């Protein structure tokens, strides 16, 4: 099964097309949908005391809920990419390359030192 980003984007484009929902998928609406779903993801951790990944992984229901909300975020990102003809895989690759240069070893060490002060 090809589950590459481009294939998943195409599958979502077909899902939207079959339902004639493209007219609602303006960039602004999709940006809001991405934000709302991101907040639903955040809500899964509301009132927790910043548990480590290993702790979260022990809670199957929580992991399922996180998986569900994460998928919602990504699906609406596919929608945005489709509406604006953005090659999402290429955009991710470019951003990762940009981050590779932006966060060199020295910069990363400085950022980590700052973050450690807040732990």
**Residues at the contact surface with Mg ion, assessed by CB under 5 A:** 37, 40, 69, 72
**Alpha-carbon distances of 13 from 6, 33, 80, rounded to whole Å:** 10, 16, 10
DSSP-assigned letters across all residues of 20-72: T-GGG--HHHHHHHHHHHHHHHHHTTTT-----HHHHTT-HHHHHHHHHHHHH
Instruction: Please identify the residue of the shown chain whose CB is closest to the bound Mg ion.
Output: 72
Q: Which is nearer to Mg ion, 40 or 56 (CB)?
A: 40
Which residue, 8 or 73, has its beta carbon nearer to Mg ion?
73
Nearer of residues 56 and 66 to Mg ion, judged by Cβ: 66
Smallest separation, CB 72 to Mg ion (Å)? 4
């Amino acid at each position: 099964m090809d589950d590459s980003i481009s294939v998943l984007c195409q599958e979502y484009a077909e899902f939207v097309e079959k339902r004639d929902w493209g007219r609602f998928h303006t960039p602004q609406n999709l940006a809001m949908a991405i934000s709302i779903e991101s907040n639903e993801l955040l809500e899964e951790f509301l009132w927790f005391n910043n548990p480590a990944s290993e702790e979260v992984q022990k809670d199957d229901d929580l992991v399922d809920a996180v998986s569900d909300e994460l998928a919602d975020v990504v699906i609406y990102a596919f929608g945005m990419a489709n509406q604006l003809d953005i090659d999402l895989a290429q955009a991710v690759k470019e951003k990762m390359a940009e981050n590779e240069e932006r966060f060199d070893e020295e910069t990363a060490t400085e950022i980590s030192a700052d973050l450690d002060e807040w732990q």
